[in-house]
Homo-oligomer: A and B are copies of this chain.
Amino acid sequence: MSAPGYGQAFAIWRAGAGQDWTDYTCHAFVEGLGDGSLPQASYLHYLRQDYVFLIHFARAWALAAAKAETYDEMAAASATVHALVHVEMPLHVLTCAAHGIERSVLEATPEAAGNLAYTRYVLEAGYSGDLLDLLAALAPCVLGYGEIGLRLQHTDGPYAPWCATYGGADYQTLCHDVGALLDGALERRLGAGWHSLPRAQSLQSRFTTATRLEIGFWEMAQHPDRT
């Protein structure tokens, strides 16, 4: 699949991640969502872990707002935090309830190792580096889900709502906004030729490592018994 039009940085980093990007966005867990073959036990396990994930993911976007250098950067990050905390997480709770997972059970989910490894990597990248390090580590999740959604949005089966959400207009708009935030933040700090600076290599490394940790997340999600 060619890269969705989420901007220049995404196109460069996605290409730089090579096979890891394919292994992430075409992981067996993802294919199982697309063709409906994913066992429900795996999906329910994923839903529970994703609740824990969303908490730390929202914290990371809040850190991005704290590390912003302009009003526009802050507003973009803040809007994402708000959407995650006040829209996506309540929806997630409802979705889980519809699958028989009560809120108290959801909140008591023990965090799986593959989940913890990913979110702490992202947060630490943000704390130790600057906004660019943080955004490069956040990008694979936001934009990878967008790419997966685009590819799977018209599938049928039990997971069609999931696919439709990420392939839908609202989420795709978010992806374009985040892509624009990335490109703007890079150019504002490093200029139009940022991709030829040494810094580009460490940002690529952030993106690629986060992509590998996404693969680990799918692995964890697919095998509820292993964690």
Contacts and interface: CB of A to CB of B under 8 A. Distances in A.
Interface of A: 55, 58-60, 62-63, 65-69, 71, 74-75, 77-79, 81-82, 85-86, 89, 107, 113, 116-117, 120-121, 123-124, 127-130, 133, 187-191, 197-199, 202, 209, 212-213, 216
Contacts of A128: 59, 66-67, 123, 127, 130
Given A62-B66, A82-B82, A191-B199, 7 more contacts: A59-B128, A66-B123, A71-B107, A75-B86, A127-B127, A130-B130, A189-B198
The SS class assigned to the A binding surface is: helix
Given A121-B116, A124-B127, A188-B198, A78 B62 contact: yes
A216 to B, nearest CB: 6
State the copy count for this chain.
Answer: 4
Given A81-B81, A113-B216, A190-B198, A66 B74 contact: no
A119 B34 CA distance: 35
Contacts of A127: 123-124, 127-128
Contact of A86 (B62, B79, B202, B212): B79
Contacts of A123: 66, 120, 124, 127-128
A60 B66 CA distance: 6
Given A116-B117, A124-B127, A58 B78 contact: yes
A62 B80 CA distance: 12
Contacts of A113: 117, 212-213, 216
A216 B58 CA distance: 26
B89 A85 contact: no
Q: Which 3 A-B pairs have the closest CB atoms?
A: A62-B65, A117-B117, A127-B127
Nearest to A81: B78
